[in-house]
Amino acid sequence: MTPDLIAADEESIARAGELIARGLLVAFPTETVYGLGTDATNDRAVASIFEAKGRPSFNPLIVHLPDRQSADRFVHFNAEADKLAHAFWPGGLTLVLPRRRDCSLSLLVSAGLDTVALRVPAHKVAHALLLAARCPIAAPSANASGRISPTRAEHVLESLGQAASLKLILDGGPCAMGLESTVIGFPAAGPTLLRPGAIAREAIEAVLGRKLVDAAPLSGEAGRSSPGQLESHYAPEVAIRLNARDSRAGESVLGFGPDMPEVPGLNLSATGDLREAAAHLFSMLRELDAMGKPIAVMPIPETGLGEAINDRLRRAAAPRGKV
Ligand code: TXA
Ligand code: MG
């Protein structure tokens, strides 16, 4: 049976909250991407997320909370994490922090690590759902493992429509940011950028008053300390060529800026606006993927949100089979 896809309103959110409290799966909108959520304190429920996504079980999940205060029950904050939560929550920032000894979150959300990733989403529907469910919600992006993250409810249906445990997809329209959250960890070396994302590095460094440490690009076994670093991750079916300054016969173009060539393709942002480009990235990749031709991607600057956009594009272009 395929899941119900229903516009998010008071009634559907209440129903979604009940499903989650019973340990079933619900897909819901956040300001970054759609999440596939369930009760983060329920081991069986969390296991069903891994099952539905076909995700390698060593990949830990983000736990969503309604507010900053709720986080103290689960993890130990440090002063810099506190500063970042104050500056960016609710919003597109995820903090990886040490679990408290009495942390009631399923050990599965940490996938064997002694830390847990937490985020307070800003989207009204996500917030209302957290209140309705009355439990922390574990939610990875609502796509099959290794595939493009969903920025619309229909993407979830395409990718996970066959997952038996997914009962309901709450439709909240397209995601405003369209890129997953930025993930920051706090190893001894200092605040570390584990995954570039919706909040630009520069904004985080401005709040901290110092540079972020870069997580080494990892793959394979070494990727286990931060599995989001695995190389091939956001994989369309077709081949992708980056930094393309021309288009070749048989390719479609993913453009950026005013100089889009007159060939089949889509432009992330005709005005060269990185925020707009981020919001369009995953849905345009899907559209071009469906055309079945290799994709030539025009150069995108590495500044601001460009860092996260280029990170996703490099993963989409990376050799397959590394996840
Ligand atoms: O925007 C987002 O972050 C979306 C929405 C739904 O909130 N969620 C999302 O979740 O992208 P997911 O599971 O697709 O990505 C979680 C990322 C992965 O890169 C994972 O490795 C990292 O967070 N992560 C989670 N827990 C971690 C931990 N304890 N230590 C290091 N990295 C962790
Ligand atoms: Mg994901």
> 140-162: per-residue pLDDT in tens?
999 998 888 999 999 999 999 99
Q: Which residue has the higher pLDDT, 321 or 136?
A: 136
- Confidence band for 221, pLDDT divided at 50, 70 and 90: very low
Query: What is 95-150 written as a DSSP string?
Result: EEEEBPTT--S-GGGGTT-SEEEEE----HHHHHHHHHHTS-EE--BSS-TTSPPP
- Cα 145 to averaged position of ligand 2 atoms, centre (Å): 7
- Band of residue 217 on the pLDDT scale cut at 50, 70, 90: low
| 117 alpha carbon – ligand 1 mean position (Å) | 7
SS3 170: strand
Residue 85 has pLDDT above 60, yes or no: yes
Give the pLDDT band of residue 56 (cuts 50, 70, 90).
low
56 burial type by CB count under 10 A (0-12 exposed, 13-18 middle, 19+ buried)? middle
Ligand 2 centroid to Cα of residue 228, in Å, is 8
Does the pLDDT value for residue 190 go beyond 50? Answer: yes
Q: What residues are in contact with ligand 1 under a 6 Å CB criterion?
A: 30, 32-33, 35, 59-62, 94, 96, 110, 113, 115-117, 119, 139-141, 180-181, 183, 185, 194-195, 226-228
Amino acid at 16: A
| Ligand that lies nearest to the alpha carbon of residue 144, given by its number in the listed order | 2
Nearest CA to ligand 1 atom 24: 60
Q: Say what the pLDDT of residue 158 is.
A: 93
Greater confidence (206 vs 218) lies with 206
How much is the pLDDT for 146? 82
**What sign does the CA torsion over 126, 129, 135, 137 have?**
negative
Which residue reads 């899907």 in tokens? Answer: 286
Pocket test for ligand 1, best of 25, 61, 62, 184 (most atoms within 8 A of CB): 62
Q: List, in sequence order, every residue forming a beta bridge with 297; answer none if it has no partner.
A: 254
The atom of ligand 1 lying closest to the CA of 225 is 31
Ligand nearest to the CA of 199: 1
- Which pLDDT score, from 0 to 100, does residue 322 have? 42
pLDDT tens digits, one per residue of 235-253: 788 999 999 999 899 999 9
If DSSP codes are grouped into helix, strand and coil, which group holds residue 36? strand
Contact 68, 214 (CB under 8 A): no
226 versus 11: the higher-pLDDT residue is 11
Taking the model in full, what pTM does it have?
0.88
Using CA positions, which residue lies closest to atom 13 of ligand 1? 140
Which residues make Cβ contacts (< 8 Å) with residue 105, sequence separation at least 6? 40, 41, 63, 74, 99, 116, 136, 138
What average pLDDT is seen over the chain? 91
With 90 as the cut, is the pLDDT of residue 92 above it? yes
Residue nearest to atom 20 of ligand 1 (CA): 228
Model confidence at 222, in pLDDT bands (50, 70, 90)? very low
User: Which atom belonging to ligand 1 lies closest to the Cα atom of 194?
Assistant: 32
DSSP codes, 9-25: -HHHHHHHHHHHHTT-E
Among 50-64, 120-134, 304-318, the range scoring the smallest mean pLDDT is 50-64
Q: Is the pLDDT of residue 224 over 60?
A: no
Tokens of 314: 């490099």
Confidence (pLDDT) at 57: 61
Is the per-residue pLDDT at 228 higher than 90?
no
